[in-house]
Amino acid sequence: MKKTIVQEFNAPLKVVLSAREARWLEKDKIPDLKSADEIHRREDDKVIFVERESSASSHIPERFRKYVSPEMLKWTEHSTWHKDTNLHEWRVTPANYASFLDARGKTRYEEIAAGNCPRSRRTLEITLNVKVPMLGPIAENMIFESFKKNFEKDFDAIKERAAKILSQTEPV
């Protein structure tokens, strides 16, 4: 399954990127995230490589709870941020059943209008593949809907942080 989500901010790209990065300073405010620990980071002039072990505190529908253990809500994110293009490439490896799930994507940030009314865009391209006969497409849709909900909450949080940054930089 491949899906695309496009979101637009009423802020310059520089402010959006600053607000995006600031969210890791307040990890407790990231929706449904129980933990996110950076285990490896390498940076050079062009890219930032990060590996982060995370776990979710997501609400599992009751009919699926007997099938989902706490270990199934843990994963490692492998991500590469390309500084020159503002492209974030990522892949998620579940702690359990990694051979059954391929989840990866690209998130691009770009400025779409400058001047008096600056605007920026974030485009997410996600690919999900649950390798379980007959149940795979159902699981992919459930995973995508959960991801989409959290991506929308993240969008709102970045918008809020960007508004705070802009209010601090505007003349009195």
**Residue type present at position 164:** K
Question: How many CB atoms sit inside 10 A of residue 9's CB?
Answer: 23
Helix, strand, or coil (residue 22)? helix
Residue 90 DSSP code: E
Give 94-125 pLDDT, tens digit per residue: 887 788 889 999 999 999 998 888 999 999 99
Domain encompassing residue 92? 2-169
Whether 128 and 102 have beta carbons less than 8 Å apart is answered as yes
- pTM value is 0.83
Alpha-carbon span 116 to 111, nearest angstrom:
13
Give the per-residue pLDDT at 172.
41
- Provide the token pair at 8: 């637009």
Domain total in the chain: 1
Question: How many CB atoms sit inside 10 A of residue 104's CB?
Answer: 15
Longest dimension (CA), the chain: 61
- Provide the token pair at 55: 């776990």
Question: How many CB atoms sit inside 10 A of residue 158's CB?
Answer: 24
Give 131-167 pLDDT, tens digit per residue: 988 888 998 998 898 889 888 988 998 999 999 999 9
Higher pLDDT, 68 or 112: 112
Give the per-residue pLDDT at 6.
97
Q: Which CATH number fits the domain that encloses residue 144?
A: 3.30.530.20
